[in-house]
Chains A and B, each alone.
Chain A
Amino acid sequence: MADRLAPYAALLASRVRSQATYGRSFALDVLGSAGVGIFEFAEVYIIFANVDALGGLDFAGVAMVFALANLAFALADLTVGHLDQLPTYLRAGTLDAFLLRPLPVLAQLVTSDISLRRLGRAMVALVILGVVLPLNDIDWTGARIALLVIAPLAGAAIFAALFVLAGAVQFWLVEGGDFTAAFTYGGSYAASFPASVFAMPMRVLFTFVVPATFVAYLPTLVLLDLPGPVGLPQWLGWTTPVAAAGIWSLAALGWNAGLRHYTGAGS
């Protein structure tokens, strides 16, 4: 197993090394990424400077939703965020180089870059989470603790799948980057707030089409032991990994179809 992972470790190691060589600039990038996280949180902060609740959750609750969503997104962005820039790789002929190597193309694309600077945003999310977790009145059981750990990881998997789909779409729509952003970045935005503020169609869209609410809001309902809004019962909060598996199978299908289209199998 270690033998099979060795090439990927080598590919990633070389990216990490090349990013670490730009020391000061890298530190600046991490800071910038953290800045993004802080400014996004400002939206939550400003709202709660005016009101006491949003979508049935108080500040601590909304902050937790925000933090879980941001953490998941930052982790995904870190590992596969570059996938929605597929046209860049197509133009450089990188995909052909991947096809000439004895490894799966998607795995090579994923390990071809890692944006360590996104750790800044992940850190901010972790700090916010650390601060508001005790502020929330959570009845900690073993299952809830496990959920707290699993939710951001499964959430990251969901966003990662969205990035893969965003890449796959661009095998067909080469200028589609701005379009897929509606689902990747839009999904992240939708996941950061309680889905109870959405009307039904939107709620359904961002739960069962783009599984954004599975990332943070539904697990939060479980952690806080609150009933969900119409259409989103609390128990769905336990099924984030299932949602992740679902969106990943779609992503895998989409990616394979895209690759087949690129190699001309479709035409």
Chain B
Amino acid sequence: MIISVKDLRREFVIRAPTGRIWRNRTTVHAVDGLSFDIAPGSSVGYIGANGAGKSTTIKMLTGILVPTSGTVRTCGLHPVKQRKALARRIGVVFGQRSQLWWDLPLRQSYRTLAAIHRLPAAERTARQGELVERLDLADFLDTPVRQLSLGQRIRGEIAAALLHSPELLILDEPTIGLDVLSKERLRVFLAEQRASHGTTLLLTTHDMDDVQRLCDRILVVDHGRLAYDGTLPGLVTRVGVDRVLTLDLNKPSPPLTGIPFTRLVDVEPDGLRQRLAFSPQETTAAAVLAEVGGRTDVRDLTIEEPDIEDVVRRLYLASPAPPR
């Protein structure tokens, strides 16, 4: 197992001032008894609402934070005691924080990282060349990192994390703030890396599309505990999550009720825009569209995927957690 977590716990003591003098000490159980194993070569999505404990878990997996109790082994190593050895074998990307040198161009950063990881020059050139090509970095390789757009910076960070060919790549919200095109390109690249190099992928995200396109396993964490461990279709089945189709019609129409397996969620006053919710287990977007097309002309459409908060909330409605 490349990641092995057993009964992991992490508590924080918060001193919250109530009023001017007194402070209340409250204990926050950021991670509250997590257990899971991840096999090498797999691609796992680690999802949960904000504050659910995702970042805390990542920190404990990588040696930034010490668990309060429980065991964690990454690449078979103790993340804190064997931090440096572990750092040679993993790559980590934080979507919201940069690990690159702000005022240096990417090229310099890669040279420095190669020295830090003691990569032989030949290996660095080859690997860098491959990453630059696949992530399309050539145009801004010599631009200082602080002048890069978010999408460019994320690509640069990912290349930095993969430069030393790690066995495990951990990504913390990598697609946050990116536009649709960039997100898709990134997903294609990551899938490719996994296929060609066998890199294990652990990805925390709020974006269900990320999960759908990249991960063959999902771990849902809520309030520090594992709420679900399985596949996405399994999750959908378990929770019964709806997708929502927003239709822009050519001319005002009466509400589109009675289309099989759909629920009319919203109709704008003139009937030009209507929203239909449906469960992907029961029907497909194409089928719904065909039905609608039979009744009226559709000018444009968008599909909304369920968001994480929704999924998690429904997960708990479906099977409530035992009381603490």
State the A residues within 8 Å of B (CB): 3, 6-7, 9-11, 14, 17-18, 93, 96-97, 99-104, 260, 263-265, 267
Contact = CB atoms under 8 A, between A and B. Distances in A.
A18 B103 contact: yes
10 contacts: A7-B118, A14-B104, A96-B59, A96-B94, A99-B64, A100-B92, A101-B116, A102-B116, A263-B63, A267-B12
B297 to A, nearest CB: 52
B84 interface: yes
A97 B118 contact: no
Nearest to B84: A102
A97 B99 contact: yes
Contact of B112 (A7, A96, A99, A263): A7
Interface in B80-130: 80, 83-85, 87-88, 92, 94, 97, 99, 101, 103-104, 108, 111-112, 115-118
A101 B91 CA distance: 9
B274 interface: no
Contact of A103 (B12, B84, B104, B111): B84
Contact of B80 (A10, A104, A265): A265
Contacts of A101: 87, 116
Interface string B44-82: 000000000000000100111110100000000000100
A264 B99 CA distance: 21
B100 to A, nearest CB: 9
A100 B66 contact: no
B115 A7 contact: yes
Contacts of A267: 11-13, 68
A14 B80 contact: no
A206 to B, nearest CB: 36
A6 B118 contact: yes
B116 A263 contact: no
B27 to A, nearest CB: 10
Interface residues of B, number: 31
Nearest to B161: A100
A263 B64 contact: yes
B10 interface: yes
B104 A6 contact: no
Say what secondary structure dominates the interface of chain A: helix
A9 B111 CA distance: 12
Given A10-B112, A267-B13, A99 B118 contact: no
Contacts of B116: 7, 10-11, 101-103
B62 A263 contact: no
B64 A96 contact: yes
A14 B84 contact: no
B87 A14 contact: no
Nearest to A13: B112
A263 B10 CA distance: 12
Contacts of A263: 63-66, 80
A102 B13 CA distance: 30
B173 to A, nearest CB: 14
A14 B62 contact: no
A250 B66 CA distance: 24
B212 to A, nearest CB: 28
Given A99-B63, A100-B62, A263-B66, A14 B97 contact: no
Nearest to B96: A93
Contacts of B11: 267
Contacts of A103: 84, 116
A60 B85 CA distance: 54
A143 to B, nearest CB: 41
B97 A93 contact: yes
Contacts of B104: 14, 18
Nearest to A19: B103
Contacts of B108: 14, 17
